[in-house]
Chain A
Amino acid sequence: MSSPDKNLCQEQIAFQGRIVAGATHEFQNHLAVIKEYSGLINDLLNGKQADGKRVIKRCSEITANINERANRAAVLADALNRFAHRGDAAVSAFRINDAVKDLIVLLQRFASQHNIALEAKYGRRLAEVINNPSLLQYLVFLLTAPLIESLGEGGKVTLSTSAGKDKSPEIEIKAEGTTSSLADTGPAPEIFKECLNQLVGNLSLDTAKKKIRKYTLSISSLAETRQIR
């Protein structure tokens, strides 16, 4: 493995660790809420509440809330599972929208911790691409995370997918709000370069509008020739 490849591999492992840590923390939160609801039902049923109808009504509300929490945890588990399997092969056929959707789910807590709205706009009828989905998610994260960290509270980051020129897929990452200077804590420039090289991609940055910072990332829809060495 060449040095840029090795560094990239190490950075990707660190990224995967960060995603897993965030997701498991979120699972802990869901479980903590479900456990409190379950305890509350027990408290209400075993308590000395005079109003039986009120207890039934409250228990009914709580079970609906438990159901909603379990659904949210299931969505997170699905996204984490797909995220883990994206690395099964260096190159695979996938839909850009699916890769972005999973990343949005997995980064939601990270964004809410910074009081940033993280949203997505999905292009229609985007064809499947053959490329490295795991590496693409990593690169999108590399671009998105510093934006979330540098935006002031109440800012918004939007990931939009579309088909660019020659129908190759594009992801636009747009940050709106007051930004401080981007923290210089990310990986070295050669990591970006290596990602773009392996994805057969291009990256541009647009800061023409005040309070808007916009990256446009395009990748090849058929990158297998570069990927397989």
Chain B
Amino acid sequence: MSAIEILLVDDEIEFAETLAERLRLRSFKVTVVSRADEALTVLDAGLRPDVVLLDIKMPGLNGLDALGEIKLRDPDAEAIFLTGHSVASSSIEGMKRGAFDYLMKPIDIAELISKIEQAAEKRKEKSGGADGQSV
């Protein structure tokens, strides 16, 4: 099985880059962007990540609205929200809009990896075959 590909979208760039480094040490393939519009640009350029990790509160397009735009480009996309909000309402709203799950920051890496693997598996099933290939 090829490495799970992740698109990490978070305006807290130090957090995103450090988390990406940790995920890469665990053999995930990670692309980091700091704004939702940059995420849409890389998707428009053809990137099809297995999982999108998405901050909710960002300058410009917020994570909740970004999820809708991502789903328009890639209906099978699976997103996990990473949020610093202690109030769960935004995260619940994210679930209503089709997110796979959400995690509160600071995150637990083992829990995140478990959710990433579950989300990637779900995407694979939706796409209808191994490694996201149609059969």
Contact = CB atoms under 8 A, between A and B. Distances in A.
B25 A43 contact: yes
Contacts of A32: 12, 15, 84, 105-107
Contacts of B12: 29, 32-33
A115 B105 CA distance: 22
Contacts of B58: 113
Interface residues of B, number: 19
A63 interface: no
Secondary structure at the B interface, as helix, strand, loop or mixed, is loop
A51 to B, nearest CB: 14
Given A24-B86, A25-B85, A115-B60, A31 B18 contact: no
Interface in A23-73: 24-25, 28-29, 31-37, 39-40, 43-44, 47, 65, 69
A40 B15 CA distance: 11
B15 A28 contact: no
Interface string B46-88: 0000000000011110000000000000000000000011100
Contacts of A36: 15, 18-19, 22, 106
Which of A28, A34, A112 neighbours the largest number of chain B CB atoms within 10 Å of its CB? A28
B8 to A, nearest CB: 12
B42 interface: no
Given A28-B106, A114-B59, 9 more contacts: A24-B86, A25-B84, A28-B105, A33-B15, A33-B18, A37-B18, A39-B109, A112-B59, A115-B59
A40 B106 contact: no
Interface centre among B18, B25, B57 (most CB of A within 10 A): B18
Interface of B: 12, 14-15, 18-19, 21-22, 25, 57-60, 84-86, 105-107, 109
B21 A35 contact: no
Contacts, number: 54
A59 to B, nearest CB: 12
Contacts of A113: 57-59
B22 A28 contact: no
Contacts of A114: 59
A33 B13 CA distance: 9
14 contacts: A25-B86, A29-B12, A29-B105, A31-B106, A32-B15, A32-B107, A33-B12, A33-B18, A35-B107, A36-B18, A36-B19, A39-B109, A47-B25, A115-B59
A33 B20 CA distance: 12
A63 to B, nearest CB: 13
A194 interface: no
A192 B60 CA distance: 30
A32 B86 CA distance: 13
A33 B55 CA distance: 14
Contact of B22 (A25, A34, A40): A40
A119 interface: no
Contacts of A112: 59
Contact of B106 (A35, A43, A47, A153): A35
A154 B130 CA distance: 45
Nearest to A48: B25
Nearest to A35: B106
